[in-house]
Structure 1
């Protein structure tokens, strides 16, 4: 019969202190991988299909040849943009310390691409406004979609996300396995550790560990994890979820 344990409750100050201890601790192991969606190659075709539908409807309603040129420009600009920015790759870096784990996820897009995209976006807004004034309200069906995407693109900057996951040394962990259906390419899987027998309805600290790495990296990574936390020995490394 399994026993459910309650984890200690931590205040915001306690959590901040524990996260700072993780940041201040010595890094004993780190790894890196690339997160790229398995469906990434479909994004340009999806974007081209969306613009074809929008401008097709606009052309059916107005039969203005300018819409054809606007469709072509939209596809040429937004298809590569969608590949690089709408379904972006990430550089994933993890660090293990005796106090916890530090995760950093950074967009893998050259800075110059953001600058070019912002310039194109402002240009696209101007073109859409001119087309709308010249061709009348019907043109706004297609030009409006272009303009909305252009406005979204004006604020593009490289995004960096970070997480700090403290360990709970007084509790035993278990390795829960890896995901069975990974969403990323290059044999990148998510692997999970959890506090053994924990009552998930009674905690306010992020203790559940989810990490991404290449499958061949995990054996070494797990060895260092077990140096920092007590992981139940009967949890097989190859177990899936």
Structure 2
């Protein structure tokens, strides 16, 4: 088992080692249609619960529907562009591992719109207060928190790395740009990770570069991501437990 001191030393070395190959990727960690569906469904559930509260309170007015529409639209924008944004990955391959940066690509217009809708939401809730009663205070408070919370909210660049073990496995998800790297022996999480390519052709070139640097490596083609857990490296570890 590699000690924490060894990993700390390797962390420093992997960033200092010469870069042999580099590439970029822009996208999300999940499928675009999944993120879009989540962005639609998540605020829809919340809005539906609020609608139920208003129905139980016998509220039926334009103010109610304006309030719910604003909530729904703001929830969609926040979920899609703030919580599930595209990210810019910049990978650099060295002999010791891969280090890369990840930056969420959140358009400034998203911040502006969310802040704007939050302030509009406050106004709508205060107007609705005279129509639907105290329940509007709940929405007004939520919008106020959101407006102030978005004031200094900015994207940041995170540093990550995947260290190479002496023997590794590459799980190649066919018809996808995803590639998982794990060690053949049980090791720290620093030696495992997922990388992405811009295309299937680019992924093949990345695999070729990795094979040259990894030494002892097994490339396993899989059709579904969960198929990798049927590999002996996982099943043997489970049996040992």
Give TM-score, length-normalised by structure 1: 0.72
Asked if 1:72 is matched to 2:69, the reply is: yes
How far residue 100 of structure 1 moved from its aligned partner, in angstroms, is 1.5
Matching of residue 178 in structure 1 with residue 167 in structure 2: no
Instruction: Give the deviation of 1:157 after TM superposition.
Output: 2.0
**Which structure 2 residues correspond to residues 154-165 of structure 1 after superposition, within 5 A?**
154=151, 156-165=153-162
Structure 1 unpaired stretches of 5+: 1-6, 181-185
Which structure carries more relative contact order (alpha carbon 8 Å, separation 6+)?
A: 1
Q: 2:11 aligns with which of 19, 39, 50?
A: 19
What is the CA–CA distance in structure 1 between the aligned matches of 2:104 and 2:93, rounded to whole Å? 21
Pair 150,56 (structure 1): closer, same or farther in 2 beyond 3 Å: farther
State whether structure 2 residue 221 is matched by structure 1 residue 238.
yes
Please, which moves more after superposition, 54-63 or 17-26? 54-63
**Residue 135 of structure 2 is aligned to residue 138 of structure 1:** yes
2:47 is matched with: 51
The residue matched to 2:135 in structure 1 has which SS? helix
Q: 1:122 Cα deviation (Å)?
A: 4.5
Partner of 1:41: 36
Distance in 1, matches of 2:99 and 2:112, equals: 30
The equivalences for 1:106-125 within 5 A come to 106-125=103-122
SS of 1:33 mapped into structure 2:
strand
- Secondary structure of the residue aligned to 1:206 is helix
Structure with greater helix share of residues: 2
Distance 1:211 1:103, change over 3 A: same
Residues 19, 92 of structure 2: 8 Å contact kept: yes
Provide the aligned C-alpha RMSD in A.
3.2
Unaligned runs of 5+ in 2: 229-241
Cα pair distance change 1:136/1:85, threshold 3 Å: same
Deviation at 1:218, TM superposition (A): 1.9
Partner in structure 1 of residue 24 of structure 2: 32
TM-score normalised by structure 2 residue count: 0.72
User: Structure 1: which 4+ aligned runs deviate by more than 6 Å?
Assistant: none
Q: Is 1:187 aligned to 2:176, yes or no?
A: yes
> C-alpha displacement at 1:87, in angstroms?
2.0
